Amino acid sequence: MKKLDVQYRVLGMISTNTYFLINKETLEGIVVDPADSAEYIMKQFELRGFHLAAILLTHGHFDHIYAANCLRELSGAPICACEKEQRMLGDPEINRSVVWADAMTVKADRFFKDGEKVCLAGLDFEVLHTPGHTEGSCCYYFKEEGVLISGDTLFRETYGRTDLETGSHSEMMKSLREKLFVLPPDTKVFPGHDAFTTIGHELSFNPAAAAFGT
């Protein structure tokens, strides 16, 4: 990777990968999916001299957003998400926070469109709307760095569940086939849970890839 340093912490009751995307040249950073412990996240940035420029959400399930509001208050950084995820972010029953923890909602400061090219913290990326796990799930593709932040769309040798509200198996297959499995094989994939992978590995070992003969 050129100027992007990908760090992570496993946080929250469902062991979510919360990512710190750091611009090594400017020490600006982005937090993706702040699952819990906003004070801890902020302390990690302060101890290392990083400036938090933005908070990105891959989707609106509570285990990916639980610290978002508090982290925004502590840092002043804007919360950003896909425009298709507004309904889930605003409904504690759909985002499942009412089931697992305290009911909560998040109102993003900026909503992205599919295919939108964005620069935050001096890092360029493309927003890929990848419905399936939720209707507004998205991935963040840092083309120049060869990095994909895949949320709960793509995991190592599997993919996100599609049986929760706003999920769709057919949409998931379409997202994988048309948006992710067409990326360069050496693209590093950083998912919302569990181990890292690459697109090439998934083309060989992911059952979704085998299902449509990629």
In order along its 214 residues, the chain shows pLDDT tens digits of 699 999 999 999 999 999 999 999 999 999 999 999 999 999 999 999 999 999 999 999 999 999 999 999 999 999 999 999 999 999 999 999 988 778 999 999 999 999 999 999 999 999 999 999 999 999 999 999 999 999 999 999 999 999 999 999 999 999 999 999 999 999 999 999 999 999 999 999 999 998 765 5
Domain holding 152: CATH number?
3.60.15.10
Backbone angles phi, psi at 204, to 5 degrees: -90, -30
Strands (E), 25-100: 28-32, 51-56, 79-82
Q: Return the pLDDT at 24.
A: 97
pTM of the predicted model over 0.85: yes
Q: Return the pLDDT at 100.
A: 79
**pLDDT, tens digit, 9 for 90 and up, residues 23-32:** 999 999 999 9
Q: Return the pLDDT at 99.
A: 85
**Domain housing 147:** 4-211
Q: Return the pLDDT at 11.
A: 98
Please count the structural domains in the chain.
1
Q: Return the pLDDT at 208.
A: 96
Please give the Cα distance from 60 to 23 (Å, whole number).
Answer: 25
Q: Return the pLDDT at 211.
A: 74
R_g over Cα of the chain: 16
**pLDDT, tens digit, 9 for 90 and up, residues 88-99:** 999 999 999 988
Backbone angles phi, psi at 174, to 5 degrees: -65, -45
Please give the Cα distance from 102 to 12 (Å, whole number).
Answer: 13
Q: Return the pLDDT at 151.
A: 98
